Structure 1
Amino acid sequence: MTGPVHQPIEFDLEGGARGALPSWPARIPALWVVDAVRHGDRAERLAPSILDAGEQRRAESFVASADRRCYVAAHVALRMLLGAWLGVEPRDVQMVREPCPSCGGSHGRPAADGGVHFSLSHSRDLSLLAFATVPVGVDVEFVPNGRTAAKVGAMLHPAESRELAALPASDRPVAFARAWTRKEAYLKGEGVGLARDLSLDHLGTGPVPRPGPAGWTVADVLVPAGYAAAVAVLAAGQPPVEVPP
């Protein structure tokens, strides 16, 4: 899966997800993209009957209406898709957090009953959802400005920092966003997130990702201009990588 760019399905909140989701090979994630500008109003109308109390409190905590709209659209779509897969109403989907492999705390990968693994990411007006039969992580980010790319890029793997430094300044934000989304997708798949040192894994800044860390495959995801996205999937039959405390 290293190299090809994955094309996500655009989720239609008007039509929803009818019937069970199709099965897919363990190494291939199913991906959906949600446009909060197109579907935000519909999602907010559906939210009271779909989201649980915790999700509704979280949505209400956002100060910016655009952030709230994106969160609601993403989580309504997530529950609709999981409900279709599990054969239950979206509001009845039970979601928990697995133990963190780094510290054992209750903030590891999100999980649902029924043998489906999922991951969710949102940025600005766009959300990306991934589902697989094995642990999966996904990330989407709005491409940052040059100052942010330079500041955070220095925290990446030394080889990635050198790759960025060798590029013209105008090309660095997009290259940084590629590296960042690949890295965060992998770390979310592991269940540790940014608790793992960003300098430990070399996933590359170029148009094609480097081979993923042992036991994982990493690929870019096709998203609208101005964004970057990636997905990481645990290779079939491979245990998660041991993450030091």
Structure 2
Amino acid sequence: MYQPHVFTLTEDGYRGPAPSWRPGVPSVWLVDTDRDAEAFGRLASGILDASERARAQRLAFPADRACYTAAHVALRLLLGAHQGVAPDAVRLVRERCPSCDGPHGRPATGGGVHFSLSHTRGVALLAFADAPVGVDVERVPEPQVVAEVAGQLHPAEEAELAGLPPAERPAAFARVWTRKEAYLKGEGIGLAGGLHSEHIGTGPRPLDPPGWTVTDVAVPSGYAAAVAAGTAGRPPAGGSDRRK
């Protein structure tokens, strides 16, 4: 289980440590998007670019707008701290999609830092690394959702869920969903890559796809999260990372 850093917002921004990492070991940050929603909102106009502000406004529900705003303000504050620039000066771009070569692949900074962002109401996760990285956080779903969506998973994962007592299936489904989405985001293809394509597993420990390390992330009760780090050509992570 990976223990994330906790992002703490000050009255005028962020004054904590900048993200740093060793080869193959991502730096993962947990953001409570509800706690400081008003402060994030005040900072947004001077930090987010026009496209980010427009996307936030297109979200139908205030809670979703607040969550998106908090996550993206925190992202820019942390990237700015790492790069030594103002958060509004951070350049965000999209890589080419590896599946279709369209302009909707992994998000990037144009400056050698790989990062990934995920948010759901109340919580955001940010991951930074020197190699491709993906992160995902989700609420544990209702049993009906599990029954409706489990068929999209790898057949072995669907069988694993079916073999569990009904009360255990939502948490197991949330584990495998976040593991798989983190991996697919790290690959740069997202859910379009197909949830059935790799067997990563619903059990206590994920199975690593070739060239990747997938690790569950400690998040508040009622949520599940995972981070996937590209490991091709890199030595295994040592004992000083934040996994426990």
2:81 is matched with 84
1:43 is matched with 40
1:100-123 C-alpha deviation (Å, 9 max, x unpaired):
000000000000032110000001
Cα distance in structure 2, aligned partners of 1:121 and 1:58? 15
SS at match of 1:38: coil
SS at match of 2:72: helix
Q: 1:206 aligns with which of 195, 198, 203?
A: 203
Q: CA deviation at 1:136?
A: 0.2
Matches within 5 A, 1:162-241: 162-210=159-207, 212-237=208-233
Cα distance in structure 2, aligned partners of 1:206 and 1:25? 28
Q: Any conservation in 2 of the 1:134–1:236 contact (CA below 8 Å)?
A: no
Which amino acid in structure 2 is aligned with residue 127 of structure 1? A
Cα distance in structure 2, aligned partners of 1:12 and 1:194? 31
Q: CA deviation at 1:13?
A: 1.5
- What is the aligned-residue RMSD (CA, Å)? 1.3
Which amino acid in structure 2 is aligned with residue 172 of structure 1? R
Cα distance in structure 1, aligned partners of 2:197 and 2:93? 28
2:123 is matched with 126
Cα distance in structure 2, aligned partners of 1:20 and 1:224? 22
Cα distance in structure 2, aligned partners of 1:19 and 1:10? 10
1:133-166 C-alpha deviation (Å, 9 max, x unpaired):
1000000000000011111111100000000000
Matches within 5 A, 1:66-77: 66-77=63-74
1:203-239 C-alpha deviation (Å, 9 max, x unpaired):
10011112x111110000000000000000000527x
2:132 is matched with 135
Q: Any conservation in 2 of the 1:20–1:86 contact (CA below 8 Å)?
A: no
Which amino acid in structure 2 is aligned with residue 233 of structure 1? A
Cα distance in structure 1, aligned partners of 2:127 and 2:47? 19
Q: CA deviation at 1:21?
A: 2.2
Q: 1:98 aligns with which of 84, 95, 114?
A: 95
- Ranges in structure 1 where 5+ consecutive residues have no aligned partner: 239-245
TM-score, length basis structure 2: 0.92
- Does 2:50 match 1:53? yes
Structure 1 residue ranges, 4+ long, deviating more than 3 angstroms after superposition: 15-20
TM-score, length basis structure 1: 0.92
Length, aligned pairs only = 233
1:107 is matched with 104
Matches within 5 A, 1:7-18: 7-14=3-10, 16-18=13-15
